[in-house]
Structure formats: structure tokens, C-alpha cells
Amino acid sequence: MSNFLPTFSSYVQLVDRIYGRYFEKLDERIERRWSHYYRFLDNAKNADTRLKKAMWTNLSKGQRWHALHLQKKRRRHFALIPLSYIAFVTLFVLAIRVAVY
């Protein structure tokens, strides 16, 4: 029965094939948020008035929050891959056991 179980590397390849583009887009979004954050900080540094400086600073804080949020989301997804593999193998074994008996 162990010959039929998928290996972890084959499962990761399957996940990459299915969700690879999603993770690439997520990485692009994170990069874009950080670039906006640094650009807004530069704009705040070069601002003429206190009002504009406050505006750019607040915008940069929002971009930073979103970037950190997306990074947490990415880490959460990658942390769930081993757990989903365990669940997949368990269901796979149960399905074979039900089919055999």
C-alpha cells in the first residue's frame, strides 16, 4: 500500500502547478506595496507643508500595513502545505481502505 501513497515532493509539485501563479501574483503584490511604501516615505521627506507630509506619511503607513498583511497571508499558506499533505494522505488511505473492504 505504501507504493501508492504520493510523496511529499510530488504533492508540493502538484500544489505548485495548481497554485503557482497565485503565489507569484501574491509576491508581486507584496513587492509593489513595499515600493509604494518607500516612494511615499520619500514624498513625505520632500513635502513642502506639514499637511502634505502628514498625508504622505499616513499613506505610507497604509501601504506598510497591507504589505505586512500580505506577507502574513503568504506565510500562512506555506505553513498549511505540510498539514494539507497529511490530510491528503489520510483521506487517500481511507479511500483505499473503504474501496478494498
Q: Residue 2 pLDDT more than 80? A: no
* Cα torsion angle, 75, 77, 83, 85, sign: negative
Q: Is 29 helix (H, G, I), strand (E, B) or coil?
A: helix
pLDDT computed for residue 82 by the predictor: 83
* Cα torsion angle, 54, 60, 64, 70, sign: positive
Q: Which residue has the cell 505504501?
A: 2
pLDDT computed for residue 4 by the predictor: 67
pTM: 0.74
